[in-house]
Structure 1
């Protein structure tokens, strides 16, 4: 395959950062189809439209997901990318790899595909970019039999679950994110590989409210570690921070000297609910007002720790802008235990209850957050058989009219009248 002139793409090599254009040119020495990758991208830059078209139904036998079909719409110009399918491979929990595993995977992709990889897709999958239809089955055979790895999710199904590093390396993690991710990935293999949902569905596991996998912004069910009791305080360490003997933020200052640590300016005044103050030389926290933002813990990690009664908050409905605008997930379960001993039973029951409702009332290509938005949060809460709490309220009510269900009005009104009469009769 001939080398193409790519003056527009070549500009991307002129900046201070490493360029994928340079990488593709190097790859073309052993994989000539990479010249056609550059050529078709140059044409897309010139025409300002994509020259890739979706491949429709293409995949491996028995699986409805894991392969994203792609074909060039100008194959006569770029025959090397006439077929250019993407393969999604499920990543290990927390993305821990051995060098031997990565080498084996790269060798496999050099054998069956273009050798071009993306580590990782936004969902977390290992993304292998570019192969022909006839190579899919041989690649899949080698992946599953030689490497004991599987495809991830694509299409209207459960996407590959993802998690933060959790208790393996992070002292703030409030539950075992790796075990939760692994257990639910194994449990829902059918939902990952055989699309049956109205649209895609993701759940992600963050061990603490720092939410290092951005679950609250992009997953249909966000499982975010939290604690139920009080933040643990080491008052002696607080004094050391104030005295300047411990570096704040774990010493992460990007090389800049910010001056002497000021607990009022850097911690207390930045608390979103003003629930912290100094009294008698000690740091005080009104834990009933704490929203678990993690700021104070991040700034003074030696002095403050999450509480001892740990679990997770479950939020529902985040997504990127597809049918509607982007939205964060909504708090639905403030606290549930997260024990691997019972296979995360409470979380599993909730997930399947959401699925049962969404698969019945959700429209085609409608994420669960959009279904919630369409029918209203009160309806969702009622279907989930949950008690509403103030934390579920997104913004103050702007509609002056209040609508009551008939069964709520009759019994509730009569009960209120009886209680009023009894109180004043006394």
Structure 2
């Protein structure tokens, strides 16, 4: 017999898709069944009360969670998100319901033994409810009491060799795609770079000192499987600087129907004969491709590495061999003023682990110095860029402007120069003008 009536939540189970409500009910039933076998360290009916408070929130049309203060583990300023219910008498099992963010392994590779250890820990000292994974990338442990925070942290660090992730105004847990471990398109080792920067910037990750949150995300190629270009203050997107490799025989095989486009991903439906003009060339954003005399030609200097042609004809087209990454900055997905995509800052950099990625770290630290000095409270990097201008960002990073930094021709016809940027200053230019034109 359920502890709370949940008619509104029950409706969420009626559709054709799996429901989180069903999962929560299953966990509540499991906890009640195993109460005599497992040494639960928080109330057994925590999930029952969680369902109850959620039902009440739906009924009232408002949340019944409050922040209520700062909680965490000793020495860390982040990693724990404090949650308290504003109806503790009615739902004592969730009077405290803190969330822990756990730093996920690079590429999200686990052993089954490790996953079982995580689940056993959380079953005993938490609600048993997890989110694999949160939007930042972390393993999310949903719901425990204040008393259990240090106990869980000790178990994680001493027995599982695992750390908490980031929360608050700090570096959030860096996240990467599966990279070269499984993907043939990866242009650099995403897992190594992600792990290296995670270890390098431990203070920035655990001791909040930034104006607001800051996210690293690592995509091995322009397919952007972790959506870094849309969600990361600094995104590292694999790319190449030489020509796309073309196998002309494979191109002919696609045109002749001998090879299925999109690696056969749409095999369950007959889309008709493959049309290279319609499905590849006409969809090229810069129109840098053409097909004539049985050959596919690419004007590579116009290519923006969108990957569409490679995705459609993977047996015929490959990324170039001179690989590295592009660094984009300033993306965010806020609720109020709309999403902002990352702006290209470094068109190409070699991802060189031999010197501990120093060239990349120099860019990171120059940006942080500027943002921490000039950023307002709760102002993301992208908002500072909008406020002070992209030229200021180039100045603080010491990066010379290049055509790739220009999204479109300027609308404003007035161009303002700094005197020190003009060789010889204005005085020489005025004298030259007088000499030749004012005789």
User: TM-score scaled by structure 1?
Assistant: 0.95
CA distance in 2, matches of 1:253, 1:115: 38
Equivalence for 1:83: 96
Structure 2 counterpart of 1:47, from 60, 69, 72: 60
The C-alpha deviation readout for 1:201-222, integer Å capped at 9, x for no partner, is 0111100000100000000000
The C-alpha deviation readout for 1:173-227, integer Å capped at 9, x for no partner, is 0000010011111111111111111110011110000010000000000000000
1:227 aligns with 2:225: no
Following TM superposition, by how much is the alpha carbon of 1:421 offset from its aligned partner in structure 2, in angstroms?
A: 10
SS of residue in 2 equivalent to 1:270: coil
Q: Is the 8 A contact 1:70 1:83 kept in 2?
A: yes
SS of residue in 1 equivalent to 2:291: strand
Equivalence for 2:174: 161
Equivalence for 1:408: 421
CA distance in 1, matches of 2:357, 2:174: 15
Structure 2 counterpart of 1:57, from 49, 70, 83: 70
Following TM superposition, by how much is the alpha carbon of 1:53 offset from its aligned partner in structure 2, in angstroms?
A: 1.0
Structure 2 counterpart of 1:184, from 197, 206, 209: 197
Q: Is the 8 A contact 1:324 1:370 kept in 2?
A: no
CA distance in 2, matches of 1:274, 1:342: 38
Residues 354/113 of structure 1: CA separation in 2 closer, same or farther (3 Å cut)? same
Aligned length: 424
SS of residue in 1 equivalent to 2:237: strand
The C-alpha deviation readout for 1:241-295, integer Å capped at 9, x for no partner, is 1111111100001611111111111111111101001233211100000000000
The C-alpha deviation readout for 1:120-145, integer Å capped at 9, x for no partner, is 00010000000000000111111111
Equivalence for 1:145: 158
1:27 aligns with 2:27: yes
Equivalence for 1:313: 326
**Structure 1, unaligned runs of 5 or more:** none
Q: Is the 8 A contact 2:177 2:225 kept in 1?
A: yes
CA distance in 1, matches of 2:248, 2:436: 49
Equivalence for 1:255: 268
CA distance in 2, matches of 1:398, 1:321: 27
Equivalence for 1:352: 365
CA distance in 1, matches of 2:428, 2:17: 70
Aligned alpha-carbon RMSD (Å): 2.0
Equivalence for 2:222: 209
SS of residue in 1 equivalent to 2:120: helix
SS of residue in 1 equivalent to 2:321: coil
Equivalence for 2:38: none
Q: Is the 8 A contact 2:419 2:426 kept in 1?
A: no
Q: Is the 8 A contact 1:216 1:329 kept in 2?
A: yes
Q: Is the 8 A contact 2:367 2:393 kept in 1?
A: no
Equivalence for 2:253: 240
Following TM superposition, by how much is the alpha carbon of 1:2 offset from its aligned partner in structure 2, in angstroms?
A: 6.6
Deviates more, 1:200-209 or 1:274-283: 274-283
CA distance in 2, matches of 1:419, 1:92: 63
CA distance in 2, matches of 1:49, 1:6: 16
1:7 aligns with 2:7: yes
1:289 aligns with 2:302: yes
Deviates more, 1:257-266 or 1:49-58: 49-58
SS of residue in 2 equivalent to 1:13: coil
